[in-house]
Structure 1
Amino acid sequence: MTKKTRTLKFILCWHMHQPDYRNALTREFELPWTYLHALKDYTDMAAHLERYPNLPVVVNLVPSLMDQLVDYAEQFHEGTWRDPLLRWLVTPSLEELSLAERQSLIDACLRCHAPKMIDPFPGYARLRDCIQRFQKDGAEPALYVSGQFLADLLVWYHLAWMGESLRKTIPLLGRLMAQGSGYTLADRQALNTLIGETLSSILPRYRALQQSGQVELSTTPNTHPILPLLLDFATAREAVPHLALPRHSLYPGGENRAIDHIWKALEAYHRQFGQNPTGFWPGEGALSTATLEMFATQGLAWTASSENVLAKTLRLSWGQETLPKEQWLYQPYLFKTEGHELRVFFRDDQLSDRIGFEYAQWDGKSAAEDFIRQLEMILESAPEDQDPVVTVILDGENAWEYYPYNGYYFLDYLYQALDSHPLICPVTFATLCQQSDGMDLPVLEHVVAGSWVYGSLTTWIGNPDKNMAWDLLVEAKAACDRVLPSLSPDRQGPVIRQLAVCEGSDWFWWFGDYNSAESVQLFDRLYRLNLTTLYQLLSLDPPCILSLPFSRGSRSQEAGGAMRRNTHS
């Protein structure tokens, strides 16, 4: 009898997310990260998939991201700019900007990872060096630089944020980069037109990839909240028993808010793609038993989290240290509740972190070969009666600015290797759910609440600044509960939308001393602005405390960022 050739089923899921950066009262964008990452990352990620049409991949698109992409597309359709950077890009005379605007423009156009996004471009580096010389001499650059200087800075900033797939195919970009300086209004307008075309194409490209059957698109509860914490702050102590919690013991009405985030996500997904998602990647991979129950009863087929969450859960069940992970990680689990079944996948944290952190320092081909070798080693060490299922999940935007050429060559080598490997079979969550239907899967009766960061919830609660942020939100939610019933339906909608924005995970991520002072101050200001706006929509005076910063971050230049390794601090 011929021995069956074992294969490894590989799920690669790219999570794409931005919090809502808009001011609800003015509709202005306070920060430009959504459209900049669209130009650099979301377009490149789509291009890689389009080059390998037989490679199945999962792409997770958060509703708050999709809604902002639609907003940007509308701005270009209407010719009205609600993002200052786009407005400045097509302002005829930059000499006429106020001193405050000139300073904001300069500050904004230097926010990027300089070693990969400024230093490789001599024209851009000269502008940066000039600004730094002014600053070193104690002078304010905004007082002295010309309108032409500002125009060149704006153009170079956008050129640096262009995806490699655009640079390789759009002649305009090659011309502007070769020109190096002296950009005219016509140059800026041409660049603006290209930006509009690119942003308007993002969602249709992913829609087409799903319609072709290559890509499974999934989503996340509305504004990316940490659902376990909305449901119960105390769940954070399941992984860290003595964790300090906010002064308020519970988020009022948290269960209804969690359900609303789920429903809004389903509505947003259906609006964009004309169907329902098969599964959810929860905000930050944060799960609890109550969260699993919600997902299951809403008819989802799958969800996913972190290896560390599963390890903590199994360790509690077994009363001992877990066995080697080849014996428990590389398979889906089954969660059952009230007649519903939900498959739960857990990512390989080390493999995910290799892409997120390690491989940026490697040659692209060597990194791809190493990743394939890691998968081959997992297949070799798996139990003989098992075809392992390996899940890798990480964000699809933040890692690439640390890679040469935006990760273009690493991803190309990786996709080519996955596409042709005889024993590695890329699949999607939805496909694997169908294939495992009726199979005898291990059953999860509960999970220890945690996320993909440390297998706990400490990135969003427990620190004094994070707890303060929760207390401020609890008090704002209590004000909503008092006032909302008295408002007309047309006023209730904006209040509920703004409350959802305040409940997003990103604000809590940045608070505390882990992250750099500059980043923390930006997000501290934006969080307080969001809460202030919520009170204004309720026709209430915002508490005075919202006028004062409460989180300042670290002075270290190496502190924090938008990504974290899955290791204990």
Structure 2
Amino acid sequence: MNILLLWHMHQPEYTDYSNNVALMPWVRLHSVHSYFDMVEMVGRFPALKVIFNFSPVLLEQIEKLVKKETKDFIEILTRIPADSLNQFQKQKILENFFKANYDTLIRPIPRYYELLKKRGKVVNFARLEELTSLFSTQDFLDIQVFYNLVWCGYAARKRYPLIEELRKQGGNYTEEQKEELLKIHHEILALIIPSYKAALERGQIEITISPYYHPILPLIYDTNFARRCMPYVNLPSQFKAPEDALNQLKLGQEKMKSVFGQPARGVWPSEGSVCPELIPLFKEAGFDYFFTDESILFRSLELDPHWRGKHEEHLLLFQGWKVELPEASLFALFRERPLSDFIGFKASQNDPNQAANFLLHNLENTCRHIDPRKGAILLALDGENAWEAFHDGGETFLSFFYQGLVNHRNLRPILAKEYFDENPPTNTVHKLYTGSWINADFDIWIGDSEENKAWEWMGKTREFLINKSGQISISSELKAKSWKSLYAAEGSDWFWWYGPDFSTDSDQIFDELFRTHLKNVYGFLGFTPPPYLDIPINVPSPPVPYTCPRLYISPKLTGRLENYFDWVGSGFLDISVQQTAMYQTNRIGKKLFFGFDKQNFYLRLDLAAKPDIVVVDFLSPKLHRIECQAIEDKQWEKKFLAIDQTGTFQPVQATIEAFWDDFFILSAELAALQWEKNNQVSFFVRILDQNHLGLERYPEKGTIDFIFPSEDFELQQWFI
């Protein structure tokens, strides 16, 4: 059975073309982490075959950092001697130098974690200036080193012993050590593209690409196409630029040829976004095949009279297809979603060996039902962000998975070009649904007021560029820079962070970057940008949207809302608000409520389906775990666990109650939890399946934190 692994690598254009400074460091930091790790891991398994998909603008940014044609703002701040930092620079360090996964990158280094707690997990911009006085010169130097240190992945740690030495040192760094660490960063940056070239030349990998700046191509072609999959959406004024869509593809092929010496045969359209009008463009740009999500296939089959009524036959997914339209035809593969999502979102929550075996077992089981001569399973997902959730960067999980894959007698890792050369598709679909890999629509990128405003401003800027380009005398270089700035603004990432779907502590920087690219269009043409481009589009929101308890609560333990006032004053986490750079499908979590009275802690989960297992992990003030597993007749097997002297969870006698009806609710006695007044309580919740595989985590990163109050809690919180 043919198994195709596609790892998608992309970053938007972080560089302000007016000064060649990258406002965000993610190209450099992901290079020393995921990009170097991923190609090094492939090299450990010579029989492995893997597809890497790059956004061309990512390759361009790596090249420019290597040539020192650009610098990122975080590196500039890092290189300033700690004893020379001014007030503004200190504030920027406190704001930006803790942007890493708290659990896997910061918490394992005690001094770094203490510095984070001193600053506060959530940036308090109103107090940043005041907070700087709490940090010594050595504190700032250590923060500079820690931030650049923890992003060094397992391949970097293996190659450069200094990284492990600095981690063991744990603080009190010198300026010389800081410079040595940054030197390693740049050595790794210089290794990235040659390492992928070498893997390409030995036939282990295939390089495919996305359109240059990673735009949502159907929306660049015509924003009104969104009505095909979202008929009632509120759309902005029409943005229609099919020539930009084609240019983004052609420019991508040019970059591919300049970097790797050959064009790409395959294309992963940004976010798997497709529409029928793109097939002729793919063909014109020189692609032989494209990849997108399984939902696009099934909805396309539903549209095609030949396949109507058969579109729910899931096994149709596991093969190559020919998409044949009147204007052009192309081959296609459609990603298997559940297993792809498992790698991206759930594998990190489980034992690495167990997670790898789960994947291999499911692949093997699928193979039993498919013709091995032409069958294929495509696993396609983000190849960079997922690994931050693993405590070892995913090294153990990928090692087990890759080893199991190459040793399996029924699973054959293969490249897309090899697969299509050996197996020209025998099935044809004559319709192509318009949508993306996320819910088969474009809701993430258009329709909200912030997103629509961004489309409006981009449309006005493009119209200005077209009009003025023919009216004024301007050098070809400046004209090219103007178009380059516009194409950069067409990237999908800016729209990802607009609107309510996703939130991060970098929302304002993404907003600034988008508007900077638009302003540069005007600037390179010699005009002053319109003043509205100085007004932020993004409305600030807290990175983790939860509130803490402000009243005692004593809800009825039925799993139903018996009284509206049962949960008034409880703490609340909106699970439905995404926090990360990736999107998880099939989530069941909706809302989380929590609180306490003088005897018990209460937790309520509003879920789309009954969970198999609910686990609540308390990290402070004591390490405790509550595990509730559903059994028949609405009963729950309940366990209260505490850490013993060997560091192992052991059962402890405690009173636990759990119920499920309209929602899940549990209570646990405070005496067992051993909370005392003014203790900080930190906890998170996990949903597991029957096999104890982790499915979801609330919150997705970090913990919910609150102070357990003294006896006068209600008096302090009294309100009318």
What TM-score do the two structures reach when normalised by structure 2?
A: 0.73
Verify the 8 A CA contact 1:309 1:456 in the aligned structure 2.
Answer: no
Q: 135, 139, 143: which one pairs with 1:153?
A: 143
Displacement of 1:337:
5.4
Q: Which residue of 2 aligns with 1:300?
A: 287
Correspondences of 1:330-341 after superposition (within 5 Å): 330-336=318-324, 341=329
Q: 9, 12, 27: which one pairs with 1:16?
A: 9
Q: 81, 99, 102: which one pairs with 2:87?
A: 99
| Alignment gaps of 5+ in structure 2 | 545-574, 589-720
Note closer, same or farther for the CA distance 1:133–1:268 as it changes in structure 2 (3 Å cut): closer
Indicate the larger mover: 120-129 or 257-266: 120-129
Describe the SS at the equivalent of 1:392.
strand
More strand by share: 2
Q: 15, 26, 32: which one pairs with 2:19?
A: 26
Q: Which residue of 1 aligns with 2:220?
A: 230
Displacement of 1:299:
2.6
Q: Indicate yes or no: 2:158 matched with 1:165.
A: no
Verify the 8 A CA contact 1:450 1:456 in the aligned structure 2.
Answer: yes
Verify the 8 A CA contact 1:95 1:146 in the aligned structure 2.
Answer: no
Q: Using CA pairs below 8 Å that are at least 6 residues apart, which structure has the higher relative contact order?
A: 1
Verify the 8 A CA contact 1:11 1:426 in the aligned structure 2.
Answer: yes
Verify the 8 A CA contact 1:515 1:553 in the aligned structure 2.
Answer: no
Q: Which residue of 1 aligns with 2:468?
A: 483
| Paired letter, 2:165 | R
Displacement of 1:320:
4.7
Q: Indicate yes or no: 2:270 matched with 1:283.
A: yes
State how many pairs are aligned: 550
| Paired letter, 2:44 | R
Q: Indicate yes or no: 2:104 matched with 1:116.
A: yes
Q: Which residue of 1 aligns with 2:530?
A: 543
More helix by share: 1
Note closer, same or farther for the CA distance 1:433–1:340 as it changes in structure 2 (3 Å cut): farther
Verify the 8 A CA contact 1:513 1:552 in the aligned structure 2.
Answer: no
Mapped to 2, the partners of 1:454 and 1:134 lie a distance apart of 31
Q: Which residue of 2 aligns with 1:348?
A: 336
Q: Indicate yes or no: 2:67 matched with 1:84.
A: no
Displacement of 1:85:
2.3
Mapped to 2, the partners of 1:356 and 1:339 lie a distance apart of 36
Verify the 8 A CA contact 1:452 1:566 in the aligned structure 2.
Answer: no
Mapped to 2, the partners of 1:553 and 1:235 lie a distance apart of 30
Q: 193, 196, 214: which one pairs with 1:203?
A: 193
Q: Which whole-Å deviations, capped at 9, do the CAs of 1:67-121 have from their partners, x for residues lacking one?
A: 110111112xx8xx72232233333x32222211111112111111101111111
Q: 318, 322, 329: which one pairs with 2:311?
A: 322
Displacement of 1:270:
0.6
Q: Which residue of 1 aligns with 2:453?
A: 468
* Alignment RMSD: 2.1
Describe the SS at the equivalent of 1:405.
coil
Mapped to 2, the partners of 1:341 and 1:255 lie a distance apart of 18
Displacement of 1:527:
1.2
Q: Which residue of 2 aligns with 1:390?
A: 377
| Paired letter, 2:391 | P
| Paired letter, 1:533 | N
Mapped to 1, the partners of 2:312 and 2:584 lie a distance apart of 23
Describe the SS at the equivalent of 2:385.
coil
Displacement of 1:517:
5.6
Displacement of 1:518:
2.8
Q: Indicate yes or no: 2:239 matched with 1:250.
A: yes
| Paired letter, 1:124 | Y
| Paired letter, 1:456 | D
Mapped to 1, the partners of 2:318 and 2:346 lie a distance apart of 22
Displacement of 1:537:
1.6
Note closer, same or farther for the CA distance 1:325–1:386 as it changes in structure 2 (3 Å cut): farther
Verify the 8 A CA contact 2:444 2:501 in the aligned structure 1.
Answer: no
Verify the 8 A CA contact 1:514 1:554 in the aligned structure 2.
Answer: no
| Paired letter, 2:79 | V
Mapped to 1, the partners of 2:13 and 2:536 lie a distance apart of 20
Describe the SS at the equivalent of 2:461.
helix
Q: Indicate yes or no: 2:554 matched with 1:565.
A: no
Verify the 8 A CA contact 2:323 2:429 in the aligned structure 1.
Answer: yes
Verify the 8 A CA contact 1:514 1:553 in the aligned structure 2.
Answer: no
Displacement of 1:143:
3.2
Displacement of 1:367:
0.3
Q: Which residue of 2 aligns with 1:455?
A: 440
Mapped to 1, the partners of 2:219 and 2:79 lie a distance apart of 43
Indicate the larger mover: 185-194 or 547-556: 547-556
Displacement of 1:138:
5.6
Note closer, same or farther for the CA distance 1:61–1:231 as it changes in structure 2 (3 Å cut): same
Mapped to 2, the partners of 1:84 and 1:235 lie a distance apart of 38
Note closer, same or farther for the CA distance 1:134–1:235 as it changes in structure 2 (3 Å cut): closer
Displacement of 1:277:
1.0
Mapped to 2, the partners of 1:279 and 1:67 lie a distance apart of 19
Verify the 8 A CA contact 1:28 1:82 in the aligned structure 2.
Answer: yes
Describe the SS at the equivalent of 1:367.
helix
Q: Indicate yes or no: 2:365 matched with 1:372.
A: no
Q: Which whole-Å deviations, capped at 9, do the CAs of 1:368-417 have from their partners, x for residues lacking one?
A: 000001101211233x6865210011011011111121111000100001
Q: Which residue of 2 aligns with 1:5?
A: none
Describe the SS at the equivalent of 1:210.
helix
| Paired letter, 2:17 | A
Note closer, same or farther for the CA distance 1:138–1:500 as it changes in structure 2 (3 Å cut): closer
Mapped to 2, the partners of 1:39 and 1:526 lie a distance apart of 23
Q: Which residue of 2 aligns with 1:436?
A: 423
Sequence identity percentage = 29
Indicate the larger mover: 132-141 or 8-17: 132-141
Indicate the larger mover: 50-59 or 453-462: 453-462
Q: Which whole-Å deviations, capped at 9, do the CAs of 1:319-371 have from their partners, x for residues lacking one?
A: 55732311x11111112457854211100111110001011100101000000
Mapped to 2, the partners of 1:245 and 1:433 lie a distance apart of 39
Describe the SS at the equivalent of 2:21.
coil
Q: Which residue of 1 aligns with 2:166?
A: 176
Note closer, same or farther for the CA distance 1:448–1:135 as it changes in structure 2 (3 Å cut): closer
Correspondences of 1:396-415 after superposition (within 5 Å): 396-415=383-402
Displacement of 1:41:
0.4
Displacement of 1:142:
2.0
Mapped to 2, the partners of 1:123 and 1:116 lie a distance apart of 14
Note closer, same or farther for the CA distance 1:131–1:385 as it changes in structure 2 (3 Å cut): closer
Verify the 8 A CA contact 2:272 2:293 in the aligned structure 1.
Answer: yes
Verify the 8 A CA contact 1:118 1:160 in the aligned structure 2.
Answer: yes
Mapped to 2, the partners of 1:241 and 1:469 lie a distance apart of 21
Describe the SS at the equivalent of 1:289.
coil
Mapped to 2, the partners of 1:15 and 1:200 lie a distance apart of 20
Q: Which residue of 1 aligns with 2:253?
A: 266
Mapped to 2, the partners of 1:105 and 1:385 lie a distance apart of 55
| Alignment gaps of 5+ in structure 1 | 1-7
Note closer, same or farther for the CA distance 1:133–1:335 as it changes in structure 2 (3 Å cut): closer
Q: Which residue of 2 aligns with 1:3?
A: none
| Paired letter, 2:99 | R
Q: Indicate yes or no: 2:501 matched with 1:511.
A: no
Displacement of 1:539:
2.1
